[in-house]
Chain A
């Protein structure tokens, strides 16, 4: 029995060590977004990333503290070491301490959490507005200041490869499931307001690099905003279950410098004019 217990405790300590190292090594994200939240390309996404890391570290430290005490006890206070059980069954002082300290930690967390949220919900002073409408299973974008609008669907290559037993290898498809036929083109360095709604069921518009998602609800118009700092292509997906092709309505945002954006706008207007 004694030997068996030793084996068990060794395994338990090993498991705790593995879990802790895993958490510590992986938690900082090491700059890749494969295991951690992206820092993104907006002030909001950077705020949300910082907030996430603060809370993650607080939680990790609390967890490691609790587990250290627990596994110390498991090693020391065992019958096989002839440890005599203590008789105590409560301590008002200890219980007050571990009620008050968590409250203080929570207050400490609530401060940055409140600041970030207040910033996120302030969409005033936007310089342009894009209306986003979710459909089963595509997105429609309307540039309210420019008279441009188009529908954005999963690109044909991904669509062919995603059929059941298509025989195509997803890894060989460019940006499999994260590519669209008509990406949303936006200028960098401008505060852009989004009006988000849906036509049939609830969808949710999410590009991780922008730092938030917001539901698209039929009959209601939600507001959100962004200000992209860096030109580039940013990909996201619908985040609210919306039926059979919920997994197949991606979002692609191409952020361009203002001059290139202006060129794109005039091209679009010319194209739409030609189509009329």
Chain B
């Protein structure tokens, strides 16, 4: 971009600089010292895609070992390291940073702000992550190997971890610091930098869901930090927080962990709800149905997420009253979640739909997330959970909400905004190939796991009885195909960024609404240097 052209409404006032786009020309200045929300967003997205493939390759090891009964490839302890690291990397390294990446790119453009409120902290919160994950990954090369007690880090088992233990705890602390700073930044930006007229209840759904997510993060990351710190002192300084012999309680760790852990799963899914609420109206050419109830449903889900944690631990031997309470509270979550699904379907109803790749991923999300949500409702039923708990049924459930849930929403978001970010259109043909193969293989991968769990296969085992062989083999084949399919995604993104000859218009999509579509594609390095006029048409909500 040699000149800075913004939407006529928002034409930029000469700010005393030249008319270049102000990008630092030096590589280190541009990327290491960057304070630009778009560059930091890009860094987050590249980082999370890298982690997605590292975590994914660990899943390939897991599925390869489970391809048939008997141990063929890895020792049981290494298998446990793979399940533990796969989860830690996918949760903290892939899904969460990807959403922060989109938040960085989109929130300032969606609310008409020039950048994030705290750009230097923004830089720091990103650059902590590569160090945290280098440290976490390095534990795999230590003599004792990496952590192998599951990502839930339950004591006393986790206290048997060797040299890597302190590194894992410190890595978790660093991820927490990064998340908290990112959240503070997002909240400060949304509360302070909205353009005049962008009242809270006029904000795009993605901004709303991220605002709520940021509060969840600030509330629970310190809880996780406290829990792992207590593990650390139990391990090295002879405290007995979780040691019954010293007056402590191993179950207390589970309560603390899941007080963090349950909101954490909503941290990964709420921004996905926001993205789907942006994409469905665009390709249905019809406003989002029930904007107000979407906002309130999100807030309700966030509130309920704090009071249902013990449904992850129905088998620890809680009193009957406790089990009943956590069952009822958990069942309640399906009400606001149902409202969201019904509103999405109503958004599509009577629309004028087209099915470009973002729309396909969004529809895939609604269908497959609903399946994951319904199996979640089944898991809430305590007595039945005495059978489901810690089986592959649970594995199938949470992978349905996380992979065709969060990850499909991330894919949808990428295809939807990539033309805006790069200025080029991606290949629709390859996008669709990517969608259809992902949608088919993800079901081949995870659907049979419901059967395995119901038939009695526990999770986190490296080897199994031959009665489970058929479905494990199908699941593994689906897993390999799903993993390979994601290479198409990399190809489409690289092609779009560097090779595509088709230029994107500012609106990109026929039905797109919202301030980000009033900017050029790609937007200038610094956008909205003066606040835009928020007209009715520029809002992504219409009622």
Binding site for B on A (CB under 8 A): 5, 8-9, 11-12, 15-16, 19, 22, 26, 33-38, 45, 47-48, 51-52, 55-56, 59-60, 62-63, 66-67, 69-70, 73-74, 77-80, 83-91, 94-95, 98-99, 102-103, 106, 109-110, 113-114, 116-118, 120-121, 161-166, 168-171, 175-178, 196, 200-202, 204, 206, 208, 211-215, 217-220, 222-223, 236-248
Q: Which of B150, B316, B332, B451 is in CB contact (< 8 Å) with A106?
A: B332
Given contact pairs A66-B342, A217-B251, enumerate 13 new A-B contacts (beta carbons under 8 Å).
A36-B454, A48-B384, A52-B384, A55-B377, A70-B363, A77-B351, A89-B291, A91-B289, A121-B320, A202-B154, A202-B250, A213-B386, A217-B244
Knowing A5-B354, A48-B384, A219-B244 are in contact, say whether A102-B338 is a contact too (CB < 8 A): yes
Query: Residues of B contacting A11 with CB < 8 Å?
Result: 436
Identity of the chain B residue whose Cβ is nearest the Cβ of A105 in the assembled complex: B334
Knowing A98-B338, A117-B382, A241-B157 are in contact, say whether A177-B463 is a contact too (CB < 8 A): yes
Contact yes or no, A74 B451, CB < 8 A: no
Identity of the chain A residue whose Cβ is nearest the Cβ of B428 in the assembled complex: A4
Contact yes or no, B289 A90, CB < 8 A: yes
A5–B390 Cα gap in the complex (Å)? 42
A239–B156 Cα gap in the complex (Å)? 16
The 8 closest A-B pairs by CB, nearest first: A219-B244, A247-B461, A86-B350, A222-B317, A212-B386, A59-B374, A116-B383, A170-B69
Q: Which of B160, B327, B353 is in CB contact (< 8 Å) with A74?
A: B353
Identity of the chain B residue whose Cβ is nearest the Cβ of A32 in the assembled complex: B455
Identity of the chain B residue whose Cβ is nearest the Cβ of A177 in the assembled complex: B465
Contact yes or no, B335 A102, CB < 8 A: yes
Asked if B427 lies at the interface with its beta carbon under 8 angstroms from chain A, I say: no
Contact yes or no, B70 A170, CB < 8 A: yes
Asked if B33 lies at the interface with its beta carbon under 8 angstroms from chain A, I say: no
Identity of the chain B residue whose Cβ is nearest the Cβ of A74 in the assembled complex: B353
Identity of the chain A residue whose Cβ is nearest the Cβ of B78 in the assembled complex: A244
Contact yes or no, B315 A215, CB < 8 A: yes
The smallest beta-carbon distance between B140 and chain A, in angstroms, is 16
Query: Residues of A contacting B334 with CB < 8 Å?
Result: 102, 106
Knowing A59-B375, A217-B250 are in contact, say whether A240-B352 is a contact too (CB < 8 A): no
The smallest beta-carbon distance between B361 and chain A, in angstroms, is 13
The smallest beta-carbon distance between A198 and chain B, in angstroms, is 9
Contact yes or no, B338 A114, CB < 8 A: no
Q: Which of B320, B331, B436, B543 is in CB contact (< 8 Å) with A118?
A: B320
The smallest beta-carbon distance between B62 and chain A, in angstroms, is 13
Knowing A175-B465, A241-B149, A244-B77 are in contact, say whether A89-B451 is a contact too (CB < 8 A): no
A238–B456 Cα gap in the complex (Å)? 11
The smallest beta-carbon distance between B162 and chain A, in angstroms, is 12
Contact yes or no, A52 B324, CB < 8 A: no
Q: Report B317-350 CB contacts with A as 1/0, cut-off 8 Å.
A: 1001001100110011011001101110110111
Contact yes or no, B70 A162, CB < 8 A: yes
Query: Residues of B contacting A15 with CB < 8 Å?
Result: 439-440
A248–B462 Cα gap in the complex (Å)? 9
The smallest beta-carbon distance between A87 and chain B, in angstroms, is 8
* 25 contacting pairs across A/B (C-beta < 8 A): A9-B355, A52-B381, A52-B387, A59-B375, A78-B352, A79-B285, A79-B353, A85-B286, A87-B287, A88-B289, A90-B289, A94-B342, A109-B331, A117-B383, A121-B320, A121-B323, A164-B71, A178-B465, A208-B456, A213-B386, A220-B244, A243-B80, A244-B148, A247-B462, A247-B463
Identity of the chain A residue whose Cβ is nearest the Cβ of B320 in the assembled complex: A121
Contact yes or no, A90 B291, CB < 8 A: yes
A117–B466 Cα gap in the complex (Å)? 32
Contact yes or no, B323 A83, CB < 8 A: no
A70–B324 Cα gap in the complex (Å)? 34
Q: Which of A51, A74, A94, A114 is in CB contact (< 8 Å) with B346?
A: A94
Identity of the chain A residue whose Cβ is nearest the Cβ of B316 in the assembled complex: A215
Contact yes or no, B466 A176, CB < 8 A: yes
* Interface window among B130-138, B365-373, B486-494: B365-373
Contact yes or no, A236 B328, CB < 8 A: no
Knowing A90-B291, A215-B317 are in contact, say whether A73-B348 is a contact too (CB < 8 A): yes
Asked if B119 lies at the interface with its beta carbon under 8 angstroms from chain A, I say: no
A91–B541 Cα gap in the complex (Å)? 15
The smallest beta-carbon distance between B237 and chain A, in angstroms, is 20
Knowing A66-B370, A73-B348, A165-B72 are in contact, say whether A236-B456 is a contact too (CB < 8 A): yes
The smallest beta-carbon distance between A182 and chain B, in angstroms, is 19
Query: Residues of A contacting B86 with CB < 8 Å?
Result: none
Query: Residues of B contacting A165 with CB < 8 Å?
Result: 71-72
Q: Which of B243, B249, B287, B455 is in CB contact (< 8 Å) with A36?
A: B455
Asked if B288 lies at the interface with its beta carbon under 8 angstroms from chain A, I say: yes
Identity of the chain A residue whose Cβ is nearest the Cβ of B286 in the assembled complex: A85
The smallest beta-carbon distance between B394 and chain A, in angstroms, is 10
Residues of chain B from 64 to 91 with CB closer than 8 A to chain A in the complex = 69-72, 74-77, 80
Q: Which of the listed residues B243, B350, B543 has the most CB atoms from chain A within 10 Å of its own CB?
A: B350
Query: Residues of B contacting A16 with CB < 8 Å?
Result: 367
A26–B448 Cα gap in the complex (Å)? 11
The smallest beta-carbon distance between B196 and chain A, in angstroms, is 24
Query: Residues of A contacting B341 with CB < 8 Å?
Result: 66
Contact yes or no, B75 A164, CB < 8 A: yes
Contact yes or no, A239 B451, CB < 8 A: no
Contact yes or no, B156 A218, CB < 8 A: yes
Contact yes or no, A176 B465, CB < 8 A: yes
The smallest beta-carbon distance between A58 and chain B, in angstroms, is 8
Residues of chain B from 493 to 543 with CB closer than 8 A to chain A in the complex = 541-543
A36–B363 Cα gap in the complex (Å)? 28
Query: Residues of B contacting A102 with CB < 8 Å?
Result: 334-335, 338
Asked if B239 lies at the interface with its beta carbon under 8 angstroms from chain A, I say: no
A47–B381 Cα gap in the complex (Å)? 12
Knowing A59-B378, A77-B349, A202-B250 are in contact, say whether A163-B454 is a contact too (CB < 8 A): no
Query: Residues of A contacting B360 with CB < 8 Å?
Result: 8
Q: Report B88-121 CB contacts with A as 1/0, cut-off 8 Å.
A: 0000000000000000000000000000000000
Knowing A66-B341, A95-B339 are in contact, say whether A55-B466 is a contact too (CB < 8 A): no
The smallest beta-carbon distance between A162 and chain B, in angstroms, is 6
Asked if B298 lies at the interface with its beta carbon under 8 angstroms from chain A, I say: no
Contact yes or no, A211 B387, CB < 8 A: yes
Contact yes or no, A176 B69, CB < 8 A: yes
Query: Residues of B contacting A236 with CB < 8 Å?
Result: 456
Q: Which of A55, A85, A94, A218 is in CB contact (< 8 Å) with B250?
A: A218
Query: Residues of B contacting A202 with CB < 8 Å?
Result: 154, 156-157, 250
A74–B284 Cα gap in the complex (Å)? 10
Contact yes or no, B543 A90, CB < 8 A: yes
A45–B352 Cα gap in the complex (Å)? 50
Contact yes or no, A237 B156, CB < 8 A: no
A34–B72 Cα gap in the complex (Å)? 24
Q: Which of B244, B288, B384, B386 is in CB contact (< 8 Å) with A218?
A: B244
Query: Residues of B contacting A94 with CB < 8 Å?
Result: 342, 346
Contact yes or no, B458 A239, CB < 8 A: yes
Identity of the chain A residue whose Cβ is nearest the Cβ of B321 in the assembled complex: A121
Query: Residues of B contacting A12 with CB < 8 Å?
Result: 363
